[in-house]
Amino acid sequence: MSTATDKHHPQLAADFNRDEPRVNWHDETLWWVRAKRDIAANNLPEWELLRETASQIKFNVLSNLSTYLEQFEANATKNGIIVHWAQDAAEHNQIIYNLLEQRGISKMVKSKSMLTEECHLNEYLKEQGIDVIDSDLGERIVQLANEPPSHIVLPCIHKKKEEIGDIFHQHLGSAKGESDPKILTETARQHLREVFLTRRAALTGVNFAVAETGEFVICTNEGNADMGAHLAEIHIASMGIEKIIPERKHLGVFLRLLTRSATGQPITTYSSHFSKPQNGGEIHIVIVDNGRSVQLGREEFRNSLKCIRCGACMNTCPVYRKSGGHSYHTAVAGPIGSILAPNLDMKKYADLPFASTLCGSCSNVCPVKIDIHDQLYKWRQVIVKAGYTPTAKSMAMKAMAITLASPTLYRMGGKTGRLVFKYAPFAVSNKFNPWYNQREMPRAPKESFGEWYAKRKGAKN
């Protein structure tokens, strides 16, 4: 489902906030996941060492990316895997369609892959007459609801169980009003079982690709990737160029970090290694750039490519928790999405780096130590210099810069502001000023800090 919209984050967040009980539930649920992450991290004395090690491994990968990619291709090819290269989303989608079309396949099962969301693969294949069923439970729920995922690990976190029950009743024939999670899960299991048994093609994402061995690893809790890949004639894996790690032993670092950061689990239920095709089967891996090499060339932003898609920054972010994933109108939401998306289209996603308090909580929980909040601030500077901020905001910032640079103007502005707050508060607190839509007006201070300090200093003398 496409994330295309004419609205920006403030408007989409306002839409989400119209349902206050949902906002509170969404906020509390994600903070509960964040708390589980903290417990899991604190149970490992070597946690910070693991984070630093993972960050340094990824730094090494990004510094030698072409070498590791070529090594992976050579070893994967030696193992019998067919490697394809895609410059952008269009080429990625075309490669996958060609693989299906050449084999006369019109139905495919797919496990979770944020890269395919980024490339809008489902929509493209639907236009070509290919039926794609998402087999991850959360992904299947939002697919049936005709919505994009709102979270990279918890795709339907914005849905309540009663809403899921209604979706299943409409599309899968479950009893009307049924909202028991066990029954709904069993309904989905029975529905997907037929899909797994009848689909000749399966597509998966890639969590890690090992340059040393040519294998790739997929991490799931439901086993749906394994079911799809093992029962299909052709297994297609979509992978961003940044998913490389140098050696198999490095999985011992990343697998310990990934799920603890994502959900507070010690490890995913399934960590499946794919190194060669089954007898009579095929494995194709599509390695995709889609703007990543441009991001690699941006020195201040290249660390964003270290991301292992754990979602920890979303779970901790106060803005994401209160505004919902769909308010980011991009495949990867939250803080990490807000530093990745402008690289793809700076004008379209100019609003996202401003959807943050810059509190730094995202950077504190990132398992590979990406400086997310610093990059958000730097993206703001780049976007303003490029002229992609609203005209009114740009003019206001220029006026503020002039005022703050002049002590006289600053003092005059302070006195004027206090008078306005005291005698004409409606001039500030009105529908034209969104800042005060959910805020109470503060009381006007009797004097400025400078005036108070001058009096105090004079009294002492």
Specify the CATH number for the domain of residue 80. 3.40.50.10420
Task: Tell me, yes or no, whether 432 lies in a domain.
Answer: yes
Task: Tell me, yes or no, whether 243 lies in a domain.
Answer: yes
pLDDT digits (tens, 9 = 90+) for 237-247: 999 999 999 99
Is residue 128 within 8 Å of 122, Cβ to Cβ? no
Same domain flag for 105 and 221: yes
Q: What confidence score (pLDDT) does residue 421 get? A: 81
Q: Is the pLDDT of residue 192 over 90?
A: yes
pLDDT digits (tens, 9 = 90+) for 295-323: 999 999 999 999 999 999 999 999 999 99
Domain count, the chain: 2
Task: Tell me, yes or no, whether 373 lies in a domain.
Answer: no
The residue from 274, 290, 306 where one domain ends is 290
* Signed CA dihedral, 21, 23, 24, 26: sign only: positive
Q: Is the pLDDT of residue 432 over 90?
A: no
Rounded CA-CA distance 289/295 in Å is 10
Which of the residue ranges 15-29, 95-109, 437-451 would you say has the lowest mean pLDDT? Answer: 437-451
Task: Tell me, yes or no, whether 320 lies in a domain.
Answer: no
Buried b (16+ CB within 10 A) or exposed e, 180-207: eeeebeebbeebbeebbeebbbbbbbbb
Same domain flag for 70 and 181: yes
The arithmetic mean of pLDDT across residues 171-181, rounded, is: 94
Would you call 223 exposed, middle or buried from its count of C-beta atoms within 10 A (0-12, 13-18, 19+)? middle
Which residue range is the domain that position 115 belongs to? Answer: 44-290
Q: What confidence score (pLDDT) does residue 2 get? A: 55
Task: Tell me, yes or no, whether 347 lies in a domain.
Answer: no
The arithmetic mean of pLDDT across residues 410-425, rounded, is: 86
Q: Is the pLDDT of residue 259 over 90?
A: yes
Classify residue 284 by its DSSP letter: E
Task: Tell me, yes or no, whether 166 lies in a domain.
Answer: yes
- Going by pLDDT thresholds of 50, 70 and 90, the confidence category of residue 1 is low
Q: Is the pLDDT of residue 157 over 70?
A: yes
Same domain flag for 132 and 271: yes
- Going by pLDDT thresholds of 50, 70 and 90, the confidence category of residue 420 is confident
Task: Tell me, yes or no, whether 106 lies in a domain.
Answer: yes
Q: What confidence score (pLDDT) does residue 251 get? A: 97
The residue from 255, 290, 325 where one domain ends is 290
AA letter at 90: A
pLDDT digits (tens, 9 = 90+) for 352-374: 999 999 999 999 999 999 999 99
pLDDT digits (tens, 9 = 90+) for 127-138: 999 999 999 999
Task: Tell me, yes or no, whether 436 lies in a domain.
Answer: yes
Q: What confidence score (pLDDT) does residue 436 get? A: 76
What is the average pLDDT value for the chain, to the nearest integer?
94
* Signed CA dihedral, 65, 66, 72, 75: sign only: negative
- % residues pLDDT > 70 (the chain): 98
Same domain flag for 63 and 185: yes
The residue from 251, 266, 290 where one domain ends is 290
Q: Is the pLDDT of residue 4 over 70?
A: no
Rounded CA-CA distance 214/434 in Å is 53
- % residues pLDDT > 90 (the chain): 84
